[in-house]
Each structure stands twice: as C-alpha cells, then as structure tokens.
C-alpha cells in the first residue's frame, strides 16, 4: 500500500530525483504471512520499525514483496515455492508454524527469518536455538508453552469453574505434544477438559455448535495461527455464548475477549525486522540465535467481565499488566 | 647550471625548514598520542566503573525488591497474601521469571511463575540446593549465570528471610540487563558488555552473542583481566570479536564476580591524535610553502649575478672576445667577473697571432694535399694506361704546370737520336706547332739540350735576357721568361726532358724542383712500364702463335694445307703484315699453298716458274730472306716480276722467308704491306721461326705418308704370300696324294708282284711321300691361319679322353725309342668347350716333339684345372732349349738350329701352328727349359673358350 502511494507520489512529482527512480537496484525481500492484512497490519508495522532500526526502509533502499495467505494454510506451501522462485534476497515467513515449515521446504539457500509459535527444534526448523545452522533463524513465540499457564490463569480468574473447553487446531505441528500437557495441567488444577478442534473457518462455527449451552464453565483458546487469524470470529462466538475465556494474544482482549496471556507480538516482529536487516547486511542466519520472548502480559477486558457479570479476584487484577476498562 | 643552482638553493632551504617542522610535528604528535591514550584509558575506566555500578545497582535493586518480601514474619502470612506479594514483586521486576519460597526446612512452599503453573505447598525438598544453603548461610546469594534452553542467560538470586523465615529464590532473566548495557554509551561507536565468572558473555548490546553463549576469554583483554583481577587496565592491544582494534577498560562487580568491559574502537579513541596529526600536517605544508617562497627569493638573489657571469662567459666562449662582464655586487662574484675579463683580454691578444699561423699551416697543408692528389692522379693514370705513355706524359705536364704555378709545361722524349716533343700543357698551339717540328740534341744551345747534356735540373731565370741562352727565339715565341728543365733519367741515361716556363721572372723554388723531380721519375716509370708491357705482350703472342702452329702440326699429320694456313695466319698477326702468302717448291715451279689477308693473291695451286726476278723465287733459290722496303724503289729490270705483281696485288713492302730443309729451300712465306716500310728485325726473326715450323710440318707429312705406303705394300705382300702358300699346298697335295696312293697300291701288289728290292724302294717313296704330305698340311694350316681362314669348330671335349687319344697315338713311337710315356690327369676334370680336334693336334705335336727330341728318359703329359682354365703340360727329359732360342721356337719356319735338330727333321711349323691354335682359343703356350735337362711345354686354355675373332696377319 505504502509502496503504491510512493509510486503515485513519484509519478506526481515527475522524475524529480534520479536516485529514487532506481528503486529496484536495492535488495528485495519477500514477506509471507499466513494471516491477513486485516489482522496483522500492526505486526507488519512493527516489522517495518525493526527493519528501519537496522537501516532499511521499504520503497527507499529495499523492496518488500508482501503476500498474505489469509489463513489458507493449505496454500502456503505453494506460495512459499512461488516466493522462492522469484529469488528474493530474504524471505520473512510469519503468521504460523506452517509458513515457516513451507519456507524451509521451499529453499535451502535464501535466508529465511521466521516467526513460529512452536519449538523450532521440535518442528525441524533449526538444529539448535543458539546456533540454527541452516538458512533459517527468527523468533519462537513459545506460545504453546503458555497453554498450561493460561489454564492456570483461567482457574485463578474463575476459581469455581470445573469444566473448561479447550479450542485447538489439530493441524498445528505442536498439537500432538500439546494435548497431553493440557490434560496434565487440567488434572493438576482439578478441571475437566472439553476439547474443541477446528482446522478451517467453518469448523470454528461447528466447534462452537457442538458445545451445548451451559455445558462448560469457561473456554481456553490455544495459541495457533489459524485460530488467531479467526480471532474476531472466535471472540464474537465466545461472547455470544457468555463464555468466560482466556486467549493467547492481547489482540483478542482488545477485540472484546475477556483475557489474554502471552507475549507482546509487536516486540517480536520488531526483533524479526532487525534480524532481517542484519542478514541483509551480511550476517549469517546460521549464526543468529533463534530468540525467545522475554515479556509475557496478562491483559484483562473489564468491560467484557462486566458484561459477563464476573467479579475478578484481586490476585488476577494485581497480576494484570493491562486492564481494558 | 641552467636552473640547477637555483633549484639546489631552494631545495636546500625548503629541506632545512621541512626537517625542523617535521621533527617538531612528530615530537608533538608523539606526546599528544601518549597523553590522549592515557586520558582515553582513564575515561574508559571511569565509564567501566560507572557501567559496573549501574549493573550492580540493577541487581541490587532486584535484591532490594526481594528483600521487601523477605521478612522473617512473611513466611507466616497466609498463602494468598504471599502469592499476592510474589505476583506484585514480579510486576515490579519484569526480569524475575519465577519466584520460589522455601521454608526453613528447605521445602518448597510456593512457586509463582510467568511460564508455568503456580504451585502452592508442593513441599519439594530443596534443602540441598546451593541457593537454599548459601542464602541461609550468607542471607543473600547470587548464583552463577546459567543458560535456559542453552541460550537464555539466567541467574538465580536467593535471599534469606532472616530468623526462621526460610528463603525466597528468584530466577532472573539476564536479558533484561541488555537494556542497561545497551544504554551505556561510550563515545560514538563504543559499547559495554558483561562477562561472567567463567568468561561467558552475560550481556552485550548484540543480544545474539549472549544467546549464542560466546566465550569471551578468547579476547586478549578479557583473558588478561581474568589472569590478574584488579590489576587495573592493561595497555595490551585489544581487539573485539569482529577483529577491530579497540581501546578496552574494565571494572569488576565484586558481589557477582562479573567484569564489565567498556570498549571503544582505537580509531575513535585516537581521533584527537589524528586531528592533531592533521593539524601538524597542514602546518607543515604551510611551513613548506613559506620556506619555498623564501628559498626562491633568496636563491634568486644569489643566482642572478651567477647567471650574468654564466651568460658573459658563454659569450666570451663563443668567440666574442671583446665582451666584458659588468657585475657590481661588491663581493667574490665581482672579483670573479673581473678575473673573467682579464682572461678574455689575454685570450683576445693571443688569438690574433694564432690565426696567422693557422692560415700559413693550412696553406702548406693545402699545397701538400694538392701535390699528393696530383701524384696519386698520375699514378692512377699510369695504372690505367699500361700500354700507352701519352696520357701519362699529359698528366705529368698538367700536374707540373698546375702545382709549380708555371704558365706552360712540355715533355720531350729521346727518339731517333734527338729529343722530340711528346706532350705539353697550357702551351699555345702555335708554339706547340713550332716545337713539334724541332729536334734538340744535347748541348748548351737550348734548355732541353743543356738539361740533357748535364743530366741535372737547369734553371734559366730570364731567358730572353740571358746572353748564354741560344734559343731566345723560342722563348720569345712563347713569351717565356723563367725556364726550368728537368731530366727524365733511366739508369743514368737521359731519355727525356720536362720543361716549365713562366711568363714573368720568378725562380722556381726548391720545393717546386723537388716536385718536378718526382714527376720526372713517375714519367720514367710509366715509360718503362709501357716498354716492358709491350715486350711481354709481344713475346707472349709469339709463343702463343708458335704453340698454335705446333698444335695444328700435331693434329694434322697427313695434310700440310692446314699447317700452311695456320702459318699464314700467325705471320699476319705477329709480323706486322697485312697479308701473308705461302708458296711451296715443286720441281722448277713454285706453287701457291696458302693465303691470309685482304690483298689479292694467286689462287691456291697457282704455279709460277722458279724465276729469280720474282723476289720470293729469289728467296727460295738463294735460300735467304729477301726484304723489300718499297717495291717502287726496286730495280725495274732485276725485279720486274715482283713489281708487276706489286702493282697487280696492291702492295709496296714485302718480306720473304725461305723454308729451309737441309740447307735447301722447299718453299717460302711471303709477307706483304700496302704501304712501303721496313720490317723490324724481330718480325723477320719471327717469320723465320714460322718458316722453320712449316718445314717441320712438311717433313712430318712426308714421313707419315712414306710409312703409310710402306706398310700397305707389306700387307699386300703378306697376303700374296699366304694365298700363294695356300694355293701351292693344295696344288702340291693333289699330285702327292696320287703318288702315295699308287705307291701303296703297287706295294700291295695290285699291279703285279714287286721284287723285294722294289718293295724297299716303294716303302721309301711311301714314307717320304707321307712326310711331304705332313709338311704340306702344316703349311696349309699355317697359311689358312695367316689368311684368317681357320675357323674353330667348337664342341665339348674331355681332357682325359684327349690325353688318352694322344698317348695311344704316340705310344708305339715312344716304345720304339725306349722312352717311358706316362700321364698324370686327375679325376673329375670338367668338360671343356673348344675345337677338340685342333687341341688334340696341339697336344699331339707337343708330345711328338718331346719324343722326337728325347733320347732317353721319359715323356709325361700332365693336366690340371684352375681358375676356369685347363693347364696341359708336356714334360720331357730331352736336350732342352737354350734361353736365347726359347722365344724363337714359336715363330714360323724356326727351329733351334743345331746338329741334333737337323737330324730330327720336321717343318718347323708345328709349334707355330700350335701357338696360333691356342691363341685362337684365348690361351697361351709357354716353355720352360734348361739345356741338357729337358723341357716343359705348358698350354693354358679357358675351360669354356670362345673363339677369338681376330685373324692372324
């Protein structure tokens, strides 16, 4: 969008500056996101900020080819292959583990900066976190690790709740690993789990429909790109059913979800931007460690709490890093 | 010196100033550098201390915050309250990821985590954990840095609650120190970092280095700091991880045993030094510029008068000796200029005299050169003109007149008893015409005569006014005053005189006389050369002519005509005649035999009577040379025929040389000329030689013809003899056969009984008849051979058989004489080819002879084969043959003439015939013999003979 604006501006002012008319001579990167422009605009902005801190501005000294899979994870392999075929200087693969995996499959030579939710070693993206060894490096949000913590927090919020629905994407590469740990945590907290699975957008509706009214006391949504991409829909469905819920990203809470616990993604994307810049300047992805988040935030939406008629315990309120009134 | 001196002054000046400035700047720079380095390190160190304090305070703040809950009584609070406090603590300190409360027994009572589920009263035994043990002992304990998931740096901090309150353990994510470290600004590109006790990086602005767990001990400054803690900041050459040289300082956080390093790139730290250096450099450049300007000014002041000196010296040097220098500097340069002026004056003076001398010398050299050139020119003319003296004399006259500045020159040569004009130069033609006719004889009268008389150089200073000078007429004619005569002398004899004249009175100098003598000598050499050359050529030509004639003689032994032609040709060429005519005497006639030349002559074969009115006839008759210088002056009566022919054939002079054979003339050679004139003695002599050669040739031909005639006659006679013999033999044999036949028939009683007495007679008749027949057969054979009619009938034969045949035929004869007859023929002799009957005849003849001439002893036939030839020997023990007779016995009709042989009879033709037969086979027959001991006749013939075609004569 910006680029188009810029081109229009350049057209309007004529060939004012010959330096500006030589745009394509700089490096060219591809930004492939599994989500959509609608959900991720702020993350792209964060990436640009990080990229700029490393000295790169799209449309000035670098060209960005931005592509959105719009949550169609079945398409990302093809899109990654297309992107690799254009031989960019770098590929940014964000918005879900499948995108990172597809980028890894698409090229073994073009540097890839990924943002993944799962453990990158486990899903085969890198050999080692501090020395990735291949052409990939990036961030792991470690969002899944927090699934258990989210159940813990949900329990703190609703000490009386006994049955909790857990919404997960079975297509998530971490799914098999995640499920037993969720069950373990639930057992430790004395909770009963009702598992909901959704892999496509229509499946979300179906998952909620399969849940009889009043059968569960609360909902925990797992960290998953697809689910995050459908956050508006999920928040709407959750609130429709008056279900207290905890979500994996602050965006849910902002959009009306009761609570969220997780890292601040914009921070992550800023780091990805700076990593992309460092690689363009000559750093080797094999030597750049995969970074983990350092801050985790609990965001509470008291408006929703009031809508739900909930009275949140003081401990949770103390714990909350941000409260939306 | 053009610009050199100026440049040298400037360079020297600038060099001096530059050296001072450079040393000054370098020293200043060195001190600035040292100071700056010291100051930089101090600043760095301060910054390091500062950073260390900030990091320590960061940690101490966490400790303080934890201490807020770590009260002795806090452990007794209800768990909700404690959890609340821990949550709040985490909110206060984002670096704390996890908080654990351990009771005094070491059991976990509470755990609050950002990542995992909170735990209440799990009771896990942690009493052995160092965090618990150490904190209980020292109240606060800082654990070592460790890395979660092998990448994230963490540190455990444990704070005892005091009393019986247990311990609070906090896990601190050291990534948060990154914020602190990143904010420490050191200069423009400087940075700070923290190294843990094991040398592992704890914090660094580049977080990825920390996450990678970089071991910093490989940096020299870190290694040095660990090696001697607290030793302050080393001066070692530090480098950062990227290999960039840095200025490094560090400070310790004693509680944590961490080292905080502050580093700034050396280039940045030394920026002041570089600036100072640049300042120094610009000052240096400025100084150099000023020095160059000042140097140029100074040098100009020095160089201008020197240049003036140089320019002046150059003008004087280029010949302007009158030039004077004007330099008023009042110092050494002025006195140098004055010195130059004095030298120039001296030079100018000596130059004038020198010029005159050079001029004289040049003139002398010029004359000498001219003289040499003239001499060389004359020599060249001599070498180019070996046969003609004229050009040489001309050249001598020209050169002499030119070199000696004479108006005229002339050369006179001695010829026919007087000195006559030969060549001259510059002399007017009228004078030459006069002189040409004049002859001079030695005497005091003329200059030529005087010179010739004395044989020395004679000079007459003023001829017209010299009373002693006889030929004043000539001098006046030529307008000559001073005269000089130079003799041309050969072996003391004056062969000519060279005369030079001047139309004014001026004596010829000694030098001129010398030159003239040289020229005179050269003229003599040239005359000599020409004479020698002419003589040599003539001699050579005569020899060539003689040789040619001899060659013609030898190649024409039977014909006299070519010789006569050659003689005529040679006579024309070498005897100075236009025409030559050869005549031969034939009885009382003389016959024209050869002619060469353009004059009309008698045709070849023309006969004239031997009439002495004809000079050539006279020459023949009187056998002497007749020489007619001019036919017109001959007596008309006496030489009427000669004069007639002279008119007819168009000649005036004639020379006749007789061809003398044993004092008698057989012909003559006649030379003729159109113009009258005498032939030289030499020519006459040569003609006589030719005449003698002609005689030799004629004699040769005569001899040759005689020999040829004789041999032809002999041949005819021989043929007649052979024919006669052959006919005779045949004619004799026929009646003889009849005699023998009838006698035999009578003896056999065919015509009635014959008395015993008559029988004896008949036998004698028969015996003598047979002997006669044998003789006739031999003669017939020989005559056939000689007539070339004997033809060999070639066939194959066996030597063994042949020998056997001969032995059986002669056996009875040997037995009769009581001789032993034997043979020695080896087996396996090859079959021969030849006329077997004739060869048998030869062998039979030899064996017969042997038996005949042997009275006692033996006769043996031996045969052998070697080298493709048979060797047949007949060995006897007879009388033998004396060596002087051995050659004769093979000739016809020859027998060793002694009593014994005559008794034996025989025709004497046998061996002769044998020899011919063997020779016709290509073999030979020889004898070895010693008187009284016997003879061995040996026949050698080829095994495969081919008849020799040559018929015996």
B233-288 confidence digits (pLDDT tens): 555 667 788 788 888 888 888 888 888 888 888 888 778 778 878 888 888 888 88
> Looking at residues B850-862, what average pLDDT do you find?
89
Can you give the C-alpha Rg of chain B in angstroms? 77
Residue B617 · residue B584 · CB < 8 Å: no
Q: In which element (H, E) is residue B109 found?
A: strand B108-113
Beta bridge partners of A115: A139
Residue B869 · residue B942 · CB < 8 Å: yes
Nearest to A285 by CA among A107, A145, A123, A122: A107
Residue-wise pLDDT for A35-75, tens only, equals 888 888 899 999 999 999 989 998 888 999 999 988 788 88
B390 and B284 share a domain? no
Of the ranges A54-58, A114-118, B161-165, the best mean pLDDT one = A54-58
In a domain, B252, yes or no: yes
Q: Please list, residue by residue across B183-210, b when 16 or more beta carbons sit within 10 angstroms of its beta carbon and e when fewer do.
A: ebebbeebbbbbbbeebbbbbbebbbbb
CA distance B52 to chain A (A): 23
- List CB contacts of B308: < 8 A, sequence separation 6 or more: B325, B327, B337
In a domain, B732, yes or no: no
The verdict on domain A2-141+264-294 having CATH code 3.40.50.970 is no
What integer pLDDT is reported at residue B907 of this predicted model?
Answer: 60
In a domain, B145, yes or no: yes
Domain ranges of chain A: 2-141+264-294, 146-263+297-324
Q: At what angle do helices B510-555 and B390-403 cross, to 10 degrees?
A: 170
Beta bridge partners of A29: A64, A90
What integer pLDDT is reported at residue A45 of this predicted model?
Answer: 93
Sign for the pseudo-dihedral over CA of B610, B612, B616, B622: positive
Residue of A nearest to B113 (CA): A149
Task: Test A296 with B114 for CB contact under 8 angstroms.
Answer: yes
What integer pLDDT is reported at residue A28 of this predicted model?
Answer: 92
Mutate which of A119, A120, A294, A315 to test chain B, going by most B C-beta atoms within 10 A? A294
Nearest to A149 by CA among A280, A63, A237, A248: A248
Question: What backbone phi and psi angles, to 5 degrees, belong to B791?
Answer: -115, 130
In a domain, B335, yes or no: no
User: B81 and chain A: CB distance < 8 Å anywhere?
Assistant: no
CA distance B86 to chain A (A): 10
Task: Test A130 with B150 for CB contact under 8 angstroms.
Answer: yes
User: B877 and chain A: CB distance < 8 Å anywhere?
Assistant: no
Its domain, for residue B862, covers 790-942
Residue B408 · residue B480 · CB < 8 Å: yes
What integer pLDDT is reported at residue B472 of this predicted model?
Answer: 77
Last residue of a domain, one of B268, B289, B310: B289
User: A292 and chain B: CB distance < 8 Å anywhere?
Assistant: yes
> Looking at residues B912-936, what average pLDDT do you find?
88
pLDDT tier for residue A22 given thresholds of 50, 70 and 90: very low
Beta bridge partners of B96: B172
Residue B860 · residue B854 · CB < 8 Å: no
In a domain, B813, yes or no: yes
Interatomic CA distance for residues A153 and A259, integer angstroms: 9
Residue-wise pLDDT for B201-239, tens only, equals 888 888 788 877 788 888 888 888 887 766 555 556 677
Mutate which of B82, B149, B152, B203 to test chain A, going by most A C-beta atoms within 10 A? B149
- Which architecture does CATH list for A146-263+297-324? 3-Layer(aba) Sandwich (3.40)
Question: Helix (H, G, I), strand (E, B), or coil: what is residue A259?
Answer: strand
B551 and B515 share a domain? no
B512 and B572 share a domain? no
> Looking at residues B674-689, what average pLDDT do you find?
85
Residue-wise pLDDT for B555-613, tens only, equals 877 788 888 888 888 888 877 788 888 888 888 888 888 888 888 888 888 888 888 77
Is residue B516 pLDDT above 80, yes or no? Answer: yes
User: B146 and chain A: CB distance < 8 Å anywhere?
Assistant: no
Q: Which one of B83, B91, B211 has the shortest CB-CB distance to A291?
A: B211
User: A159 and chain B: CB distance < 8 Å anywhere?
Assistant: no
Interatomic CA distance for residues B20 and B13, integer angstroms: 11
What integer pLDDT is reported at residue B871 of this predicted model?
Answer: 92
Beta bridge partners of A193: A164
Q: How many domains does chain B have?
A: 4
Chain A residues near residue B90 by CB distance under 8 angstroms: 319
User: B242 and chain A: CB distance < 8 Å anywhere?
Assistant: no
ipTM over 0.90: no
User: A272 and chain B: CB distance < 8 Å anywhere?
Assistant: no
Residue-wise pLDDT for B544-556, tens only, equals 878 888 888 778 7
Task: Test B80 with A287 for CB contact under 8 angstroms.
Answer: no
What is the domain-level CATH number for residue B675? 3.30.450.40
Last residue of a domain, one of B471, B498, B527: B527
Residues 832-871, chain B, touching A (beta carbon < 8 A):
none
Chain B residues near residue A286 by CB distance under 8 angstroms: none
Residue of A nearest to B86 (CA): A319
pLDDT tier for residue A277 given thresholds of 50, 70 and 90: very high
Task: Test A149 with B208 for CB contact under 8 angstroms.
Answer: no
Beta bridge partners of B148: B152
In a domain, B295, yes or no: no
Residue-wise pLDDT for B325-383, tens only, equals 787 877 888 888 888 888 888 888 888 788 888 888 888 888 888 888 888 888 888 77
Among the residues of B650-680, which ranges form H helices?
none
What integer pLDDT is reported at residue B222 of this predicted model?
Answer: 84
Is residue B728 pLDDT above 90, yes or no? Answer: no
Is residue B900 pLDDT above 60, yes or no? Answer: no
Higher pLDDT, B433 or A311: A311
Residue-wise pLDDT for B599-649, tens only, equals 888 888 888 888 877 888 888 888 888 888 888 888 878 788 888 888 888
Interatomic CA distance for residues A153 and B372, integer angstroms: 140
B675 and B580 share a domain? yes
CA distance B181 to chain A (A): 16
Is residue A90 pLDDT above 90, yes or no? Answer: yes
Last residue of a domain, one of B694, B714, B748: B694
On the question of a common fold for A2-141+264-294 and A146-263+297-324, the answer reads yes
pLDDT tier for residue A7 given thresholds of 50, 70 and 90: very low
Task: Test A149 with B91 for CB contact under 8 angstroms.
Answer: no
Between the CA atoms of A42, A48, A50 and A56, what dihedral angle is there, to the nearest 10 degrees?
A: 180
Is residue B502 pLDDT above 50, yes or no? Answer: yes
Is residue B655 pLDDT above 60, yes or no? Answer: yes
Residue-wise pLDDT for B21-57, tens only, equals 888 888 888 888 888 878 888 888 888 888 888 888 8
B564 and B482 share a domain? no
Is residue B143 pLDDT above 80, yes or no? Answer: yes
B122 and B270 share a domain? yes
Mutate which of A53, A319, A321, A323 to test chain B, going by most B C-beta atoms within 10 A? A319
B48 and B112 share a domain? yes
- Report DSSP state, residue B413: E
B487 and B603 share a domain? no
Task: Test B116 with A288 for CB contact under 8 angstroms.
Answer: no
B494 and B549 share a domain? no
Chain B residues near residue A151 by CB distance under 8 angstroms: 117
Q: Which one of A145, A289, A314 has the shortest CB-CB distance to B212?
A: A289
What is the domain-level CATH number for residue B149? 3.30.450.20
Sign for the pseudo-dihedral over CA of B407, B413, B416, B418: positive
CB atoms inside a 10 Å sphere around CB B81: 12
Is residue A24 pLDDT above 60, yes or no? Answer: no
User: B175 and chain A: CB distance < 8 Å anywhere?
Assistant: yes
Q: C-alpha distances in angstroms, B520 versus B239, B379, B485, B560?
A: 110, 12, 10, 54
What integer pLDDT is reported at residue B429 of this predicted model?
Answer: 66
Sign for the pseudo-dihedral over CA of A288, A289, A291, A294: negative
What integer pLDDT is reported at residue B953 of this predicted model?
Answer: 36
pLDDT tier for residue B898 given thresholds of 50, 70 and 90: low
3-state SS of chain B: helix, strand, coil percent to 5? 55, 20, 25
The mean predicted confidence, pLDDT, of chain B is 83
Higher pLDDT, B695 or B903: B695
User: B123 and chain A: CB distance < 8 Å anywhere?
Assistant: no
Chain B residues near residue A287 by CB distance under 8 angstroms: 208, 212
> Looking at residues B818-830, what average pLDDT do you find?
89
N-to-C CA span, chain B: 118
Higher pLDDT, B797 or B558: B797
B495 and B553 share a domain? no
B141 and B255 share a domain? yes
Interatomic CA distance for residues A98 and A115, integer angstroms: 10
User: B151 and chain A: CB distance < 8 Å anywhere?
Assistant: yes
Residue-wise pLDDT for A171-190, tens only, equals 777 777 778 888 888 888 88
CA distance A209 to chain B (A): 30
Task: Test B150 with A146 for CB contact under 8 angstroms.
Answer: no
Is residue B474 pLDDT above 80, yes or no? Answer: no
Question: Helix (H, G, I), strand (E, B), or coil: what is residue B88?
Answer: helix
B282 and B216 share a domain? yes
In a domain, B844, yes or no: yes
What integer pLDDT is reported at residue A10 of this predicted model?
Answer: 38
What integer pLDDT is reported at residue B870 of this predicted model?
Answer: 92
Is residue B814 pLDDT above 80, yes or no? Answer: yes
User: B208 and chain A: CB distance < 8 Å anywhere?
Assistant: yes
In a domain, B459, yes or no: yes
Q: What angle do CA A69, A72, A74 make, to 5 degrees?
A: 110
What is the domain-level CATH number for residue B805? 3.30.565.10
Chain A residues near residue B212 by CB distance under 8 angstroms: 130-131, 287, 289
Q: C-alpha distances in angstroms, A216 versus A213, A300, B131, B524, B916?
A: 8, 21, 43, 164, 169
Is residue B2 pLDDT above 60, yes or no? Answer: no
């Amino acid at each position: 969008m910006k680029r188009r604006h810029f081109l229009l501006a350049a057209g309007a002012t004529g060939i004012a500056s010959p330096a500006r008319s030589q745009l394509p001579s700089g490096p060219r990167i591809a930004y492939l996101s599994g989500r959509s422009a609608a959900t991720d605009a702020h993350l792209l902005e964060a990436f640009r900020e990080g990229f700029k801190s490393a000295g790169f501005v799209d449309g000035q000294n670098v060209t960005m080819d931005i592509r959105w899979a719009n949550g169609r994870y079945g398409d990302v392999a093809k899109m990654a292959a297309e992107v690799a075929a254009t031989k960019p200087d770098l590929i940014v693969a964000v918005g879900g583990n499948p995108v990172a995996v597809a980028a890894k499959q698409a090229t073994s030579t073009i540097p890839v900066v990924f943002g993944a939710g799962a453990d990158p070693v486990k899903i085969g993206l890198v050999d080692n976190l501090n020395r990735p060894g291949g052409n990939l490096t990036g961030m792991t949000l470690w969002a899944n690790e927090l699934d258990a913590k989210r159940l813990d927090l949900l329990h703190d919020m609703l000490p009386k709740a006994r049955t909790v629905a857990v919404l997960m994407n079975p297509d998530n590469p971490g799914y098999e690993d995640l499920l037993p740990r969720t069950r373990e945590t639930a057992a430790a907290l004395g909770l009963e789990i009702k598992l909901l699975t959704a892999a496509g957008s229509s499946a979300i509706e179906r998952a909620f429909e399969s849940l009889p009214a009043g059968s569960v006391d609360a909902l925990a949504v797992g960290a998953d790109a697809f689910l995050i991409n459908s956050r508006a829909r999920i928040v709407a469905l959750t609130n429709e059913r008056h279900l207290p819920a905890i979500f994996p990203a602050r965006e849910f809470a902002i959009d009306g979800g009761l609570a969220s616990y997780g890292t601040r993604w914009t921070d992550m994307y800023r780091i990805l931007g700076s990593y992309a810049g460092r690689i363009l300047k000559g750093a080797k992805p094999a030597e750049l460690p995969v970074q983990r988040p350092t801050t985790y935030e609990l965001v509470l939406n008291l408006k929703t709490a009031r809508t739900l008629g909930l009275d949140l315990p003081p401990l949770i309120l103390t714990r909350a890093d941000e409260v939306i009134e | 010196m053009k610009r050199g001196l100026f440049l040298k002054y400037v360079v020297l000046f600038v060099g001096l100033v530059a050296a001072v400035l450079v040393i000054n700047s370098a020293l200043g720079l060195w001190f600035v550098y040292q100071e700056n380095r010291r100051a930089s390190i101090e600043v760095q160190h301060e910054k390091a201390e500062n950073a260390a304090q900030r990091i320590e305070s960061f940690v101490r703040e966490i400790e303080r915050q934890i201490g807020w809950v770590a009260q002795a009584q806090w452990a007794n609070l209800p768990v909700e309250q404690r959890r609340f406090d821990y949550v709040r603590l985490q909110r206060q300190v984002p670096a704390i990821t996890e908080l654990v409360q351990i009771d005094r027994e070491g059991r976990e009572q509470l755990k609050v985590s950002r990542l995992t589920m909170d735990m209440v009263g799990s009771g896990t035994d942690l009493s052995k954990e160092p965090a618990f043990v150490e904190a209980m002992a020292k109240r606060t304990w800082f654990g070592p840095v460790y890395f979660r998931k092998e990448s994230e740096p963490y540190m455990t901090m444990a704070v005892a609650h005091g009393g019986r309150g247990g311990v609070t353990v906090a896990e601190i994510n050291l990534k948060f120190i990154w914020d602190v470290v990143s904010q420490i600004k050191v200069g423009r590109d400087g940075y700070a970092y923290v190294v843990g006790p094991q040398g592992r990086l704890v914090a660094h602005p580049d977080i990825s280095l920390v996450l990678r767990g970089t071991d910093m001990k490989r940096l020299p400054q870190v290694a040095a700091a660990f090696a001697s803690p607290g030793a302050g900041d080393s001066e070692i050459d530090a480098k950062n991880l990227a290999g960039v040289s840095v200025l490094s300082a560090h400070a310790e956080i004693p509680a944590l045993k961490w080292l905080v390093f502050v580093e700034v790139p050396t280039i940045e730290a030394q920026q002041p030094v570089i600036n100072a250096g640049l300042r120094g450099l610009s000052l240096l450049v400025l100084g150099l510029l000023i020095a160059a300007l000042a140097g140029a000014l100074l040098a100009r002041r020095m160089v201008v008068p020197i240049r003036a000196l140089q320019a002046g010296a150059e003008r004087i040097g280029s010949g302007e000796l009158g030039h004077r220098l004007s330099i008023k500097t009042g110092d050494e340069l002025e006195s140098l200029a004055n010195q130059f002026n004095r030298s120039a004056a001296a030079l100018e003076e000596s130059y004038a005299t020198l010029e005159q001398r050079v001029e004289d010398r040049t003139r002398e050299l010029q004359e000498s050169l001219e003289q040499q050139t003239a001499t060389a020119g004359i020599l060249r003319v001599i070498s180019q003109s070996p046969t003609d003296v004229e050009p040489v004399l001309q050249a001598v006259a020209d050169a002499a007149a030119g070199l000696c500045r004479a108006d005229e020159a002339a050369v006179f040569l001695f010829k026919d008893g007087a000195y006559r004009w030969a060549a001259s130069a510059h002399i007017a033609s009228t004078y030459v015409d006069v002189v040409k006719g004049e002859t001079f004889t030695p005497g005091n009268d003329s200059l030529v005569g005087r010179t010739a008389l004395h044989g020395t150089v004679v000079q007459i200073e003023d001829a017209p006014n010299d009373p002693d000078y006889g030929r004043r007429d000539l001098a006046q004619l030529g307008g000559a005053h001073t005269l000089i005569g130079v003799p041309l002398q050969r072996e003391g004899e004056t062969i000519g005189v060279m005369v030079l004249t001047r139309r004014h009175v001026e004596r010829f100098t000694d030098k001129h006389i010398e030159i003239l003598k040289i020229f005179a000598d050269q003229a003599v050499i040239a005359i000599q050369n020409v004479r020698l050359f002419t003589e040599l050529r003539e001699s050579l030509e005569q020899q060539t002519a003689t040789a040619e004639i001899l060659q013609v003689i030898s190649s024409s032994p039977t014909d006299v005509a070519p010789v006569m032609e050659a003689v005529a040709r040679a006579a024309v060429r070498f005897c100075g005649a236009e025409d030559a005519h050869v005549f031969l005497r034939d009885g009382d006639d003389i016959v024209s035999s050869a002619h060469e030349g353009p004059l009309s002559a008698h045709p070849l074969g023309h006969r004239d009577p031997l009439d002495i009115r004809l000079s050539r006839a006279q020459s023949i008759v009187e056998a002497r040379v007749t020489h007619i210088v001019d036919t017109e002056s001959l007596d008309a009566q006496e030489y009427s025929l000669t004069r007639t022919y002279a008119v007819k054939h168009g000649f005036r002079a004639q020379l006749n040389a007789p061809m003398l054979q044993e004092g008698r003339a057989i012909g003559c050679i006649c030379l003729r000329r159109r113009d009258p004139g005498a032939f030289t003695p030499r020519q006459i002599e040569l003609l006589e030689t030719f005449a003698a050669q002609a005689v030799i040739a004629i004699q040769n031909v005569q001899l040759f013809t005689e020999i040829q005639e004789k041999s032809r006659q002999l041949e005819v006679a021989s043929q007649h003899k052979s024919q006669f013999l052959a006919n005779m033999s045949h004619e004799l044999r026929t009646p003889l056969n009849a005699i023998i036949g009838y006698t035999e028939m009578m003896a056999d009683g065919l015509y009635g009984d014959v008395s015993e007495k008559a029988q004896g007679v008949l036998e004698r008749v028969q015996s003598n008849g047979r002997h006669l027949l044998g003789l006739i057969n031999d003669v017939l054979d020989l005559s056939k051979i000689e007539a070339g009619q004997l033809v060999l009938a070639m066939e194959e034969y066996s030597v063994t058989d042949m020998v056997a045949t001969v032995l059986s035929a002669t056996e009875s004869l040997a037995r009769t004489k009581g001789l032993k007859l034997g043979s020695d023929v080896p087996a396996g002799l090859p079959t021969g080819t030849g006329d077997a009957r004739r060869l048998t005849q030869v062998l039979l003849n030899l064996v017969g002879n042997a038996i005949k001439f042997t009275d006692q002893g033996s006769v043996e036939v031996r045969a052998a084969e070697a080298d493709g030839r048979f060797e047949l020997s007949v060995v006897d023990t007879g009388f033998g043959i004396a060596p002087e007779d051995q050659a004769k016995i093979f000739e016809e009709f020859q027998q060793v003439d002694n009593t014994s042989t005559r008794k034996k009879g025989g025709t004497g033709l046998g061996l002769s015939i044998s020899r011919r037969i063997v020779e016709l086979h290509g073999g030979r027959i020889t004898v070895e013999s010693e008187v009284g001991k016997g003879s061995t006749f040996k026949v050698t013939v080829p095994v495969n003979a081919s008849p020799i075609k040559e018929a015996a004569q």
